């Protein structure tokens, strides 16, 4: 232990002892002084309280007389309540100021009695105030009889208490003077010793303080060096930092913040941070944020804009020794470039989303076999109106049941590591359950949140229809060549047969002189010969043969027309006029046959008004329309359609004029639809149709008019024929 420390401890011990003695003497003197002052204070308090009580009791008597004389009852009663309240307060002060037990007992008795007669006085004055003025004097006498004696008694007791208090004070003064004279000598001696000890201790303490100052200077130098390092670190960060007080005054600021504000740090220090916000309302908003941090003691984070730059700001509370928020540290990170990059990313994402949304091919994304995204084309292909109807559902639900096992097998091969094609053709299902051919290409991608598959889908219905159309056209071309050869080969023998039947009919004619002459030469009656032939039905057989020959000739004529291009010239014509003429011809045909009542069929027309004239062979087009109308009428009659209807419509579609003929008949299955244009294909009974009507119509449209002839139909939903003819 060093000498300085020992001296310091010795000085402390001496000073402590002397100080203890001095303190003891001083405490004694202090106690005497306190007792003296206490007695004096008690005397003054008692006399003041007694004086106030006496004055309040006198005032109470005056208020009572005022009530008796008709004064303001409410005001006087309020004053009486105040007197009672103040009287009780004065009694409480008397209780605290009492020195002797005798005084306390006297005060307690006086308080109890006074409280009782004051309450009685209030009750009687309340009743007195409710009486008419002329009756109050009589009631006041009763009040005076009851209240006056106890009030006088209270006054006497208060006077007695005042005398007792004065006597106690005189005795205390005499005791204080005796004690002071005895203690004066001791206090002088102790004071001298204390002065010497204090001087010695002061010398020791002074040397200790000098040492402490030297150590503190060293600590301040170290602190200054540390602050310089902190300042260098603070100025070195590429973010804005402020230190503000609760009022927003900038206490400190780093170089980056000053640079962003366009000023020097010394210019900003001492200014209010809220004054640097130029946008309306921003200053008030930031003050509220700072106030919230001051109250809650929790950091607050938000985005801000200052000087055309965007900042991510955080207010950090700085607590003092008592745990209260004394300052706020503001850290502002410049996020302008990040926001620009984010905005550019959003715009890029928006562009790509727009491209995907408007892509002509169906695009879908799915994870774990569940859709997560579909574009418009994908919804159109599968005939969905709302993406939410698809998102979340299983991808397998859109695959036709007969193809699901094949898709599953491909997935298993992929899991095993075998090579599988990413694109394949399959059969998919639309929302209504209808199936259609579709080309699907699936690619697996890896994202941050896991793997995901993207699927490209293309509806192959039109391609299949085009393929069918091409096959049908090639087939019709081939059959046309065969039909031409067959027609020429059949036409000659048919002509001979029909011609010979005509000759037989002429040889049997009764009105022919040549026939009569030959019969007479042979000795045979021509009439008998005809009678024999009629009875043996030979003439009927000949008539049947003649009809069959004519029918065969018509078939051959149709085959020839089917096999060669039309040589007739196409002229500009109005399609609705040709269609109307065909309807009239079809109606007359059924009226003659009496088989189908065409008049029962409701014809609905939807003709585009501005449809231009088109080059067409009117006769051939009428033939096509009559074939379609006849087939529709026959189909609806055979199935017994209750309200048969045929819809006729024309409109323009690009460079083509479109004619649609639809009915509400029984429709046809897919196999029948595919073969409907084949020559000699018919669904009618044997002998009821040749099977060349629609095939010839197909040739007239596709070959002679360079158009397109298609049919759409499903069982139970009617049939729709579509004809597309070029406008030029």
pLDDT one-digit tens code per residue, 590-623: 444 445 677 788 999 999 988 999 999 888 898 8
DSSP for 538-575, written as a single string? HHHHHHHHHHHHHHHHHHHHHHHHHHS---SPPEEE-H
What pLDDT score was predicted for residue 108? 73
pLDDT one-digit tens code per residue, 115-173: 777 777 777 777 767 777 666 666 666 766 766 777 667 767 676 766 676 666 566 55
| pLDDT of 698 above 90 | no
Whether residue 426 lies inside any domain: the answer is yes
pLDDT: which is higher, 653 or 120 = 653
Whether residue 129 lies inside any domain: the answer is yes
Mean pLDDT over all residues of the chain? Answer: 77
Residue that is written with structure tokens 């406008």 in the block: 727
Whether residue 347 lies inside any domain: the answer is no
What pLDDT score was predicted for residue 166? 62
What pLDDT score was predicted for residue 709? 92
CA distance 366 to 453: 5
Task: Using alpha carbons, select from 324, 320, 313, 291 the residue that is nearest to residue 242.
Answer: 313
pLDDT band, very low/low/confident/very high, at 676 (cuts 50, 70, 90)? confident
The number of C-alpha atoms within 13 Å of 49 and in the hemisphere containing its C-beta is 25
What pLDDT score was predicted for residue 591? 41
Asked if residue 241 and residue 218 are part of one domain, the reply reads no
Asked if residue 78 and residue 18 are part of one domain, the reply reads yes
Question: What CATH number corresponds to the domain at position 589?
Answer: 3.30.565.10
Task: Using alpha carbons, select from 605, 662, 659, 660 the residue that is nearest to residue 635.
Answer: 662
Query: Domain boundary residue among 452, 480, 515?
Result: 452
pLDDT band, very low/low/confident/very high, at 79 (cuts 50, 70, 90)? confident
| pLDDT of 562 above 60 | no
CA distance 492 to 548: 15
- Helical axes 73-97 vs 3-68, angle rounded to 10°: 140
pLDDT one-digit tens code per residue, 202-216: 676 777 777 778 777
Asked if residue 8 and residue 124 are part of one domain, the reply reads yes
Q: Which domain holds residue 369?
A: 358-452
Asked if residue 183 and residue 268 are part of one domain, the reply reads no
What pLDDT score was predicted for residue 391? 92
- Tokens describing residue 306: 């200052």
Across the range 628-644, mean pLDDT stands at 87
Whether residue 346 lies inside any domain: the answer is no
Whether residue 348 lies inside any domain: the answer is no
Supply the pTM of this predicted model: 0.39
What pLDDT score was predicted for residue 92? 72
146 close to 108: Cβ distance less than 8 angstroms: no
pLDDT band, very low/low/confident/very high, at 26 (cuts 50, 70, 90)? low
Instruction: Lowest mean pLDDT of 163-172, 188-197, 340-349, 381-390, name the range.
Output: 163-172
Asked if residue 408 and residue 291 are part of one domain, the reply reads no
Whether residue 62 lies inside any domain: the answer is yes
Q: Which residues pair with 635 in a beta bridge?
A: none
182 alpha-carbon distance from chain centroid: 94
Whether residue 350 lies inside any domain: the answer is no
Asked if residue 533 and residue 503 are part of one domain, the reply reads yes
94 close to 107: Cβ distance less than 8 angstroms: yes
What pLDDT score was predicted for residue 11? 59
What pLDDT score was predicted for residue 705? 87
Task: Using alpha carbons, select from 680, 679, 683, 692 the residue that is nearest to residue 715.
Answer: 683
382 alpha-carbon distance from chain centroid: 27
Query: Domain boundary residue among 514, 532, 564?
Result: 564
pLDDT one-digit tens code per residue, 501-555: 888 888 888 888 888 888 888 888 888 888 888 888 888 888 888 888 877 776 6
Query: Domain boundary residue among 428, 452, 476?
Result: 452
Across the range 178-192, mean pLDDT stands at 65
Asked if residue 547 and residue 425 are part of one domain, the reply reads no
578 close to 618: Cβ distance less than 8 angstroms: yes
Asked if residue 319 and residue 182 are part of one domain, the reply reads no
| pLDDT of 253 above 90 | no
CB contact set of 168 (below 8 Å; sequence gap of 6+): 39, 42, 43, 99, 100, 103
Asked if residue 580 and residue 509 are part of one domain, the reply reads no
pLDDT one-digit tens code per residue, 616-628: 988 889 889 988 9
What three-state secondary structure class fits 720?
strand
pLDDT one-digit tens code per residue, 437-481: 999 888 888 877 788 888 899 998 888 777 766 666 666 666 666
pLDDT band, very low/low/confident/very high, at 179 (cuts 50, 70, 90)? low
Whether residue 303 lies inside any domain: the answer is yes
| pLDDT of 492 above 50 | yes
Asked if residue 559 and residue 578 are part of one domain, the reply reads no
The total of structural domains in the chain comes to 5
Asked if residue 218 and residue 117 are part of one domain, the reply reads yes
Asked if residue 190 and residue 109 are part of one domain, the reply reads yes
Question: What CATH number corresponds to the domain at position 246?
Answer: 3.30.450.20
């Amino acid at each position: 232990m060093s000498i300085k420390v020992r001296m310091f401890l010795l000085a402390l011990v001496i000073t402590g002892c002397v100080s203890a003695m001095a303190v003891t003497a001083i405490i004694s003197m202090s106690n005497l002084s306190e007792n003296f002052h206490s007695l004096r204070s008690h005397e003054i308090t008692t006399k003041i309280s007694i004086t106030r009580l006496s004055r309040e009791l006198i005032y109470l008597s005056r208020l009572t007389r005022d009530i008796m004389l008709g004064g303001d009852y409410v005001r006087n009663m309020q004053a009486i309540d105040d007197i009672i309240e103040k009287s009780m307060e004065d009694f409480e002060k008397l209780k605290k100021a009492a020195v002797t037990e005798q005084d306390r007992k006297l005060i307690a008795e006086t308080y109890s009695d006074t409280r009782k007669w004051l309450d009685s006085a209030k009750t009687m004055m309340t009743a007195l105030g409710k009486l008419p003025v002329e009756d109050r004097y009589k009631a006041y006498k009763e009040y005076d009889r009851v209240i006056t004696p106890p009030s006088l008694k209270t006054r006497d007791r208060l006077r007695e208490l005042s005398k007792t208090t004065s006597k106690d004070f005189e005795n205390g003064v005499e005791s204080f003077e005796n004690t002071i004279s005895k203690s004066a000598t001791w206090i002088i001696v102790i004071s001298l010793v204390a002065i010497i000890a204090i001087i010695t201790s002061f010398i020791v303490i002074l040397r200790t303080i000098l040492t402490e100052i030297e150590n503190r200077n060293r600590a301040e130098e170290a602190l200054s060096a540390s602050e310089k390092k902190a300042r260098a670190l603070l100025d070195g960060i590429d973010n804005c930092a402020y230190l503000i007080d609760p009022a927003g005054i900038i206490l400190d600021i780093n170089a980056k913040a000053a640079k962003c504000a366009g000023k020097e740090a010394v210019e900003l220090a001492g200014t209010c941070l809220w004054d640097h916000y130029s946008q309306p309302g921003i200053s008030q908003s930031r003050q509220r944020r700072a106030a919230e941090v001051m109250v809650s003691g929790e950091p607050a984070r938000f985005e801000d804009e200052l000087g055309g730059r965007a900042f991510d700001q955080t207010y950090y509370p700085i607590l003092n020794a008592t745990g209260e928020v004394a300052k706020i540290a503001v850290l502002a990170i410049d996020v302008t470039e990040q926001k620009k990059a984010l905005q550019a990313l959003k715009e890029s994402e928006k562009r790509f989303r727009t491209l995907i949304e408007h892509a002509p091919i169906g695009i879908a994304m799915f994870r774990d076999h569940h859709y997560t995204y579909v574009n418009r084309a994908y919804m159109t292909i599968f005939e969905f109106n709302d993406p939410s109807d698809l998102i979340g559902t299983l991808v397998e639900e859109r695959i036709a049941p007969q193809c699901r096992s094949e898709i599953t097998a491909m997935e298993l091969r992929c899991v095993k590591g075998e090579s599988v094609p990413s694109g394949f053709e399959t059969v998919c299902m639309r929302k209504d359950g209808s199936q259609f051919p579709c080309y699907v290409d699936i690619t697996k991608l890896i994202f941050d949140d896991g793997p995901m598959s993207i699927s490209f889908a293309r509806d192959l219905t039109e391609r299949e229809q085009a393929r069918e159309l091409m096959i049908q056209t090639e087939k019709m071309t081939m059959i046309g060549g065969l039909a031409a050869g067959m027609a020429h080969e059949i036409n000659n023998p048919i002509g001979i047969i029909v011609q010979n039947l005509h000759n037989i009919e002429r040889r049997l004619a009764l009105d022919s002189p040549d026939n009569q002459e030959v019969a007479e030469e042979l000795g045979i009656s021509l009439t008998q010969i005809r009678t024999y032939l009629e009875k043996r039905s030979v003439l009927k057989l000949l008539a049947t043969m003649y009809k069959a020959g004519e029918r065969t000739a018509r078939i051959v004529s149709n085959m020839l027309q089917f096999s060669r291009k039309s040589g007739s010239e196409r002229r500009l014509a109005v399609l609705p006029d040709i269609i109307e003429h065909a309807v009239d011809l079809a109606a007359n045909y059924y009226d003659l046959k009496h088989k189908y009542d065409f008049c029962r069929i409701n014809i609905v027309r939807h003709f585009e008004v501005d449809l231009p004239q088109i080059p067409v062979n009117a006769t051939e087009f009428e033939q096509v329309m009559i074939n379609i109308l006849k087939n529709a009428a026959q189909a609806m009659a055979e199935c017994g359609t209750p309200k048969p209807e045929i819809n006729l419509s024309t409109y323009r579609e690009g460079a083509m004029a479109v004619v649609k003929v639809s009915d509400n008949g029984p429709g046809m299955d897919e196999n029948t639809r595919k073969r409907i244009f084949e020559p000699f294909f018919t669904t009618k009974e044997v002998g009821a149709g040749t099977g060349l009507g629609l095939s010839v119509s197909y040739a007239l449209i596709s070959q002679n008019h360079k158009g397109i002839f298609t049919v759409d139909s499903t069982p139970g939903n009617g049939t729709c024929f579509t004809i597309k003819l070029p406008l030029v």
